[in-house]
Amino acid sequence: MAQQQEFHPGLSLAGAVDLESLKHQVKAEPGQAGGAPAAGGYVIDTTENTFQAMVQTSATFPILLLLWIPTDDRLFPMARTLGDAVNKLKGQIQLSRIDIASYPSIAQAFQVQGAPALFALIVCFVIAMLVHGVLDHTLNWIQTGMLFLMVFSASAIYVNNGGQRETNGNID
């Protein structure tokens, strides 16, 4: 016998607004006082127009992909910490940040419902690292262990290609 779903008249989440996120929204541009950390060094901001090129770049070196909302101040510490960790590796890895509020189609492609989310891109393969939520110990693990593993894995793949990095499906 099929069970009927309960009906709650007047209760609809369609069009609902997350009021908690509104109190964490900032107006300052990235890099300005009170705003998100600015891109720079080995940290880039990726758009729908540059997404495909960024994915192809992962054939040359690994990319840490952060899906976030740069106007949500709760995500600033994570973006800053990841950016600092990536920049310390001096080009062995790149951090690509995507604003999922501005580019929801990218969030949909990754099947992400909210921010933050972290993925690794190594030779165009996607590895989910963190989807919606960050614990301090998880961020520490990503900084200390996962970035190293990404660099190491990518190096092993490139070595298996005869020491040459793959670009556009070809070995250089």
Q: What is the per-residue pLDDT for 103?
A: 95
Closest CA to 56 of 109, 123, 104: 123
| DSSP structure class, residue 16 | -
pTM summary value: 0.69
Query: What number of residues does the chain have?
Result: 172
Q: Which is higher by pLDDT, 75 or 35?
A: 75
Q: What is the per-residue pLDDT for 100?
A: 94
Q: What is the per-residue pLDDT for 37?
A: 82
Q: Could you read off the pLDDT of 125-169 as tens digits, one per residue? A: 888 887 766 555 566 666 666 666 666 666 666 555 544 444 444
Q: Could you read off the pLDDT of 68-118 as tens digits, one per residue? A: 999 988 888 889 989 998 999 898 899 999 999 999 999 999 998 888 999
Q: Where are the beta strands (DSSP E) in 43-131?
A: 43-46, 63-68, 94-99, 117-122, 125-131
Which residues are CB-contacts of 119 (< 8 A; sequence separation ≥ 6)? 64, 65, 67, 110, 126, 127, 128, 129
* Model confidence band, residue 52 (pLDDT cutoffs 50, 70, 90): very high
| C-alpha to C-alpha distance for 20 and 114, rounded to whole angstroms | 13
CB 18 within 8 A of CB 71: no
Sign of the C-alpha dihedral computed for residues 52, 37, 87 and 120 taken in this order? negative
